Amino acid sequence: PSTSHNPDVIVVGGGIGGLSTAFALSRVGLRVRVLERAKEFGEVGAGIQIAPNCTRILDEYGLLDEAKSLGVLPENMVMRDALDARELTRLDLRDLERHYGFPYMVIHRSDLHGIFLRACRAAGVELLTDRTVVAYEHGDGGARILLQDGGAEEAPLVIAADGLHSVARRQLVGDDVVSSDYVAYRAAVPIDQVRDNGIAEKDVTVYVGPRCHFVQYALRGGDMFNQVAVFESPKALAGKEDWGTPDELDAAFAATCDTVRKGIPLMWRDRWWQMLDRDPIETWVHGRIALLGDAAHPPLQYMAQGAIMAIEDGWVLARHAARHTTDDGVDWDAALAAYEAVRVEHCRRVQTTARAWGELWHLDGEQRLRRNTVMRELDPYGYAFTDWVYGPTALSPDEEPAMFTPIPLASARIGEPDAAAAL
Ligand code: FAD
């Protein structure tokens, strides 16, 4: 029995991972307190892709209809060559929905974050802003966090959902982020501004090119158009501190096809995202402190599964908390062991596959042409390739489907620096 002064769980970080986890835990009857560093809850950035493994969870939470009303259900996911614009492969997203039972959706990040924020409020989650956690300590049958303002709080479980630059990760693991030397520019603009650019309004289109790629899809009921431009920064390769700056953007896309080049001037130039990830780690649970979301497994975004993995983490943890609840409360050690047993390996696969995808997308010269030939021969309805990602989230390692990637040569060497060279 807890009072509002003694939550069952403290969640550090109110991003998509922290809020969705707080909501999941409150649904199984736990008292949850979220501590967020920012003055207000919110998300920066533009669109986010939500695959069936996540819309399935939103549906279980009773949030899918709201998400659908704010997002867009695209018809196809189409991959094209960024230089000659030729189609390489596609997924028919209507058929994908029939196959998995849940849709592939795109939504504004702030809309998805807002859905979880409202759900947390309605569920009675304690939501506290302006709380910066500076250190973690193990406590008696729990864990403690120390706040910048000198305060301390304790709970049977502390979840660190504090993102890529996690304080908990630094303290408990101590590894560094890994730079890919790639940078992302984003923009979401009224769709009228791009109608003459040769866009496919109803599709998610990914143009893959030498050392760059470009993603496009409509948002907010089709009124807005989201674009992401990603490229390798020459300044990063030269070891400069200040890399990925706007002057590098135009040069990176100068040789691309019309539709891509027309999109570049619309990119936001006052903010960009250096593409960093971390090497996978095997231990996310330290006593009663658990890493979750980007704090545990920040990926390069090429599989569009980063936020989804965070949402899955919370769903899995809540399921195991419920399974390990007795009259004495939750057996957190058992629940956390079960969480770690299944999530570490799944997320490792996504992280390493995302790196390999990046190499494959960004090939040049002869390798690019060979990749294009392989991709054009793929069966667009071959779901064996997507089941391990888009299928139902596994609760235990034996539920996890076998892993395939559509490019056998790359999959054999996934995670190795020369994965793409195998082509
Ligand atoms: P964050 O969103 O980073 O949230 C961490 C929160 O913790 C923040 O609110 C922060 O203020 C707070 N915090 C940090 N430190 C402290 C502290 N010391 N004390 C208190 N609070 C703290 N994912 C997808 O699923 N689909 C996509 O299509 C997709 N596209 C992407 C495109 C790009 C260009 C990028 C960069 C990423 C993309 N991702 C995508 C990945 C996704 O954005 C992240 O994986 C996801 O947002 C991680 O959520 P999180 O809650 O773990 O971390």
pLDDT at 409: 42
Phi, psi (deg, nearest 5) at residue 347: -70, -30
46: pLDDT confidence band, cut at 50, 70 and 90?
confident
5: pLDDT confidence band, cut at 50, 70 and 90?
low
Cα–Cα distance between 221 and 238 in angstroms, integer?
42
- What proportion of the chain, given as a percentage, has pLDDT over 70? 94
For 245-267, write each residue's pLDDT tens digit: 999 999 999 999 999 999 999 99
One-letter identity of residue 303? M
- Residue 242, pLDDT above cutoff 60: yes
Residue nearest to atom 26 of ligand 1 (CA): 304
Cα–Cα distance between 360 and 159 in angstroms, integer?
35
156 lines ligand 1 (CB under 6 A): no
Q: Active-site residue among 207, 217, 302, 339?
A: 217
For 140-190, write each residue's pLDDT tens digit: 899 999 999 999 999 999 999 999 999 999 999 999 999 999 999 999 999
Which helix (H) or strand (E) segment is 87 a member of?
strand 87-92
354 lines ligand 1 (CB under 6 A): no
Residue nearest to atom 29 of ligand 1 (CA): 304
pTM summary value: 0.95
Mean pLDDT of the chain: 93
pLDDT at 407: 60
Higher pLDDT, 414 or 240: 240
- Residue 120, pLDDT above cutoff 50: yes
Higher pLDDT, 334 or 220: 334
Phi, psi (deg, nearest 5) at residue 106: -120, 145
Provide the 10 A C-beta neighbour count for residue 290. Answer: 28
- Residue 390, pLDDT above cutoff 50: yes
6 lines ligand 1 (CB under 6 A): no
- Residue 234, pLDDT above cutoff 80: yes
For 188-205, write each residue's pLDDT tens digit: 999 999 999 999 999 999
- Residue 128, pLDDT above cutoff 90: yes
Ligand 1: nearest atom to the Cα of 38? 11
Count Cα neighbours of 150 within 13 Å in the Cβ-side half-sphere.
Answer: 0
pLDDT at 385: 82
Higher pLDDT, 345 or 406: 345
